[in-house]
């Protein structure tokens, strides 16, 4: 019975007329650090973008400023590696904070609000042919048919906290200052590959509570984002 239901869902996710496809939200990724003295404004900018229904804003803590005296409480090595993949793809000499990457296609400094807003506006105007996506209960997600990059794409599960997080570092450049972050990413897991055909994926369990999730279909090695599906 379960296999029959899965087959039906995948059939429904086969290509439909392009007019039926809605553009997924623009994915705005902020790479920030609690020990970064210039990241406060970027945190506020992304918190504002998180209120928009046409934007999925995600805040990634990175760990390479920990040596300045305050270990970032949300940083994980895989978040830093995600930023490094973008740096290689976008031909940057090095990673930095605060950095904003929009739809995996373009980047700007997080302190340059107008530049970030312009990238979001451009992304919203860029033609998009995303595959349909659908959550199937709590533990599965299906991705339908659509144009696939050469070599396929990666499917990522991102779990993030939609609540505001207030952190007051006790050491480092931001000692004694309260930093407010929104949509803080807690987990990023590759759950499989996608090659343009309807495919279902199992979502790994988590011990963390109160998190929202997003599934992102993305060209490999820090490439462009093709589709995203989020659930609170």
Task: Please determine, for residue 232, whether its predicted confidence score (pLDDT) is greater than 90.
Answer: no
Q: Which CATH class is domain 25-231?
A: alpha beta
Radius of gyration of the chain (CA): 18
Least confident among 1-15, 47-61, 170-184: 1-15
In the chain, % of residues over pLDDT 90: 84
Mean pLDDT for 170-187 is: 94
Dist CA 42 CA 20 (whole Å): 35
Residue 206 pLDDT: 92
CA distances 4 to 8, 12, 49, 142, 224, Å, are 6, 13, 40, 14, 33
pLDDT in tens, 69-98: 999 999 999 999 999 999 999 999 999 999
pTM over 0.95: no
Mean pLDDT for 59-64 is: 97
Residue 172 pLDDT: 85
Q: Where are the domains of the chain?
A: 25-231
CA distances 174 to 72, 100, 165, 196, 222, Å, are 11, 20, 16, 46, 30
Q: Tokens standing for 76?
A: 């994980």
């Amino acid at each position: 019975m379960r296999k029959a239901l899965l087959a039906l869902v995948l059939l429904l996710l086969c290509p439909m007329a392009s007019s039926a496809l809605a553009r997924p939200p623009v994915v705005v990724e902020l790479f920030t650090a609690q020990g970064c003295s210039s990241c406060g404004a970027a945190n506020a900018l992304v918190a504002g973008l998180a209120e928009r229904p046409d934007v999925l804003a995600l805040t990634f803590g990175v760990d390479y400023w920990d040596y300045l005296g305050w270990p970032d409480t949300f940083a994980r090595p895989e978040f830093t590696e995600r930023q490094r993949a973008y740096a290689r793809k976008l031909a940057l000499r090095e990673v930095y904070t605060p950095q904003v990457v929009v739809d995996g296609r373009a980047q700007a400094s997080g302190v340059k609000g107008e530049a970030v807003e312009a990238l979001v506006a451009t992304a919203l105007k860029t033609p998009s042919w995303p595959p349909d996506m659908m959550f199937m209960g709590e533990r599965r997600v299906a991705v339908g048919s659509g144009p696939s990059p050469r070599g396929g794409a990666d499917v990522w599960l991102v779990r993030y906290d939609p609540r505001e997080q207030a952190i007051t570092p006790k050491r480092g450049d931001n000692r004694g200052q309260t930093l407010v972050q929104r949509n803080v990413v807690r987990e990023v897991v590759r759950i499989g590959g996608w090659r343009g055909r309807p495919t279902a994926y199992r979502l790994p369990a988590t011990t963390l509570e109160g998190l929202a999730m997003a599934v992102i279909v993305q060209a490999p090695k820090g490439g462009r984002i093709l589709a995203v599906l989020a659930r609170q």
